[in-house]
Amino acid sequence: MRWADVKTTVGKVAPALGGALAGPGGAVLGGMAARALGVEATPEAVAKAIHTDPEAAVKLAEIEAETRRATLEAQAKVIVAEAQGQSWLQRNWRPILMLTITAIVANNYILAPYLGAMFGSSLTLDLPERLWDLMTLGVGGYIAGRTGEKLMHEYKSR
């Protein structure tokens, strides 16, 4: 049995961990899960522990929640550091990205259709899927960064 074979079993109680077991770090993550459960570091032992010990599922869910919390905390620290950075570009790359994507979307869905209808010719700009991913990251980071700035300002004013 391989770690990828127990991803569904683990995924029922800890979805992110279960999905990651099938990836390149599966053996490392599986070993960590086994240590947390107090069993041998094998896929069979982890699967058996989840099926037989009700506390095993709780432990894995807690580990996943703590990992998610720590990851979000680290991401927030990076965003706050960017928002408070000394460089103009460091502080403003997210808003610049948002404006660029907004301009492309406005061109493709507002301007180009009207120009095409009026003049028979228009130019649409390609918006790759990865750029949408960057926009999602940028919007989330911008919101978290602004929240972090406000919290720091409030904390310093006390």
- Mind listing the pLDDT tens digit for each residue in 93-118? 878 888 888 898 899 899 999 989 98
Residue 76 CA: distances (Å) to CA of 10, 50, 66, 154: 28, 33, 15, 17
Quick one: which of 55, 32, 34 has its CA closest to 43? Answer: 34
**16-25, 35-44, 121-130: which is most confident:** 35-44
> What are the phi and psi torsion angles at 38 (to 5°)?
75, 35
Contact indicator for 17, 63 with CB cutoff of 8 Å: yes
Contact indicator for 89, 47 with CB cutoff of 8 Å: no
Mean pLDDT value across residues 28-44: 86
Of 150 and 17, which is predicted with more confidence?
17
Q: What is the structure's pLDDT at 23?
A: 76
pLDDT for residue 47 is more than 70? yes
Q: What is the structure's pLDDT at 111?
A: 92
Percent of residues, the chain, with pLDDT higher than 90: 6
- Give the relative orientation of helices 54-83 and 43-52 as an angle to the nearest 10 degrees: 110
Amino acid at 112: A
Percent of residues, the chain, with pLDDT higher than 70: 89
Q: What is the structure's pLDDT at 151?
A: 67
Q: For the whole model, what pTM was predicted?
A: 0.50
- Burial of 36: CB neighbours in 10 Å, binned 0-12, 13-18, 19+: middle
Mean pLDDT of the chain: 81
Q: What is the structure's pLDDT at 142?
A: 67
* CA-based torsion, 78, 81, 87, 93: positive or negative: positive
Structure tokens at 113: 């259709």
What tens digit of pLDDT does each residue of 48-93 get?
888 888 888 888 888 888 877 887 788 778 877 877 878 888 878 8
Beta strand ranges found along the chain (DSSP E): none
Residue given tokens 């965003």 in the structure block: 79
